[in-house]
A and B are shown apart, each in its own frame.
Chain A
Amino acid sequence: QVQVVQSGAEVKKPGASVKISCEASGYAFTNHYIQWVRQAPGLGLEWMGIVNPDSGTTSYAQNFQDRVTMTTDTSARTVYMELRSLRLEDTAVYYCARGRSGGNSRSPLDIWGQGTMVTVSS
């Protein structure tokens, strides 16, 4: 079964960091880019960035450029997203999702993780 499974919910204080994992199974892990999307409570989808699990190459949205790092552990078939210097407004559900087309970053997202709730609260 093709799926990506994310790590569990997190509660963090402002200024802290969070690192979310996204473990893939059922397909050739290094062939498909992984993207991260977040959704604040009651709001829409916000694209954060993309990582090539084969090369480790990344591209980040400007809003997160200074605070986010996306990395890959190919032996564990896992992608990680770390967000630093957390603010109250970073409270959201964070999703990882697989790009549908193998080897092509220009691809819609066909397999989504279940989402990870990150709550930032003092």
Chain B
Amino acid sequence: DIQMTQSPSTLSASVGDRVTITCRASHSVNTWLAWYRQKPGKAPELLILEASNVASGVPSRFTGSGSGTEFTLTISNLQPDDFATYYCQQYNAYPRTFGGGTRVEIK
């Protein structure tokens, strides 16, 4: 199985900040990587697909980059809606695997 490791596990930030979350894969997933945001009590929402493509309807403050085994999600100008938990997921191989999550909390 491909292991996905996210860091940090928790991140404290303020509205307007720029934050970066890292996701590392134990084996190359090419660019078959997605990022999701999950608000408390809600289902995850797709933010980024194929490592760097912003999903339809997602604000441009979300950007993704990387390929192979190292990926980043950057959120510019953090908004109140963005205080949530973020997950990466590889969809290159079975089983599809998720990172452990990064909780973005209010400083």
Which chain A residues have a beta carbon within 8 Å of chain B's beta carbons?
35, 37, 44-47, 49-50, 59-62, 95, 97, 100, 106-110, 112-115
Contacts and interface: CB of A to CB of B under 8 A. Distances in A.
A37 B32 CA distance: 18
B34 A109 contact: yes
Given A47-B97, A50-B96, A95-B43, 5 more contacts: A37-B98, A46-B98, A59-B94, A106-B91, A112-B45
Contact of B44 (A59, A60, A62, A109): A109
A107 B91 contact: yes
DSSP class of A's interface residues: helix, strand, loop or mixed? Answer: strand
B43, B46, B97, B98 — most chain A CB neighbours (10 Å): B43
Contacts of A60: 95
Interface string B25-51: 000000010101010000111100110
Contacts, number: 61
B66 interface: no
Interface of B: 1, 32, 34, 36, 38, 43-46, 49-50, 55, 87, 89, 91-92, 94-101
Given A47-B95, A50-B96, A61-B95, A108 B101 contact: no
A109 B1 CA distance: 19
